[in-house]
Structure 1
Amino acid sequence: MEGTYEGMIHISDQVIAKIARKVVLETKPIVSMPKGIVENFVKRMRGVHAQQGVMVDANQQEVALNLTINVTYGCKIHEVCYELQRSVTKEVEHMTGLMVKEIHVTVEGLVLS
């Protein structure tokens, strides 16, 4: 939440998750974002917002994200993850004005073509 002269602005974790998810699914060679049991557990226990493949932990000025992805066999996984971190950071910061503190990427699956 951010205070302005006119009042408070709050961007929900769900909105941040949707922004991140859109960027992830536009990044090649990422093919999907699995929804795991861990996401559901964390969501219930910690109150952290979880949307398929994206967990968001945000406060008034910064946000941390955990992304879970599946990639295509043969790609350079570390390069894909680095580019994903850069792209998601750029888009979330641009659209929300929040600082992205960290983005953790878990590669859960490898899809054979």
Structure 2
Amino acid sequence: MKEELSYGSVNISKEVIAIIAGIAAQEIEGVAQVGESIASFVKLVSGIPIGRGLKVELIDKDVYIKIPVYVKQNVFFPDVARDIQTHVKEVVESMTGLNVREVNVIIKGVILGKKREEEKVK
């Protein structure tokens, strides 16, 4: 997305929008990981794992986002998906000024046993 201003221009890349969307999705309770596969993910400076596979389409100032996620066990998928859609839309719009038209959530799988591992660490 490129916006011309009287004193210059602002460019927002699809990759930046994907990172914003990935971080927002990771903040939702019940999301174990954002991305295509468990093996292939990137850690940002913040330490939040943001997986590959987020897709962003830009048409003028309209944004269409596809987010693959893995969820934690014992969560209700429709609630998690709805929360992701709402939060991602709000965050991307507030940070970029773009119109988020769609946030499509693809639940790739369920990660089992994370709770037991976390209890062992404590």
Q: Same fold (TM over 0.5)?
A: yes
CA RMSD of aligned residues (A): 1.4
Q: Are the structure 2 counterparts of residues 60 and 8 from structure 1 closer, same or farther at C-alpha, using a change threshold of 3 Å?
A: farther
Q: Quick check: 1:77 aligned with 2:77?
A: yes
What SS class does the counterpart of residue 20 from structure 2 fall into? helix
Q: Counterparts of 1:76-95 in structure 2 under 5 Å?
A: 76-95=76-95
Counterpart for residue 98 of structure 2: 98
Q: Which structure 2 segments of 5+ residues have no match?
A: 38-50, 114-122
Query: Aligned with 2:23: secondary structure?
Result: helix
- Give the C-alpha shift of residue 86 in structure 1: 0.5
**Unmatched tracts of structure 1, length 5 or more:** 37-50
**Alignment size in residue pairs:** 99
Percent identity between the aligned chains?
A: 28
Deviations 1:77-98 (A, max 9, x none): 1011001100000000000000
Q: Is the 8 A contact 2:35 2:69 kept in 1?
A: yes
Following superposition, the deviation at residue 55 of structure 1 comes to 0.7
**Higher RCO, 1 vs 2 (CA within 8 Å, ≥6 residues apart):** 1
Secondary structure at 1:28 match in 2 = coil
Question: Which residue number corresponds to residue 109 of structure 1?
Answer: 109
- Which has the larger share of strand? 2
Deviations 1:40-86 (A, max 9, x none): xxxxxxxxxxx614111113311100000000121111011001100
Q: What residue identity is the alignment partner of 2:64?
A: A
Which segments of structure 1 move beyond 6 Å, counting only runs of 4 or more?
none
Report SS of the residue matched to 2:79: helix
Q: Which amino acid aligns with 2:91?
A: E
**What letter is aligned with 1:62?**
D
Alignment of structure 1 residues 1-113 onto 2, 5 Å: 1-35=2-36, 52-113=52-113
Q: Give 1 or 2: higher helix fraction.
A: 1
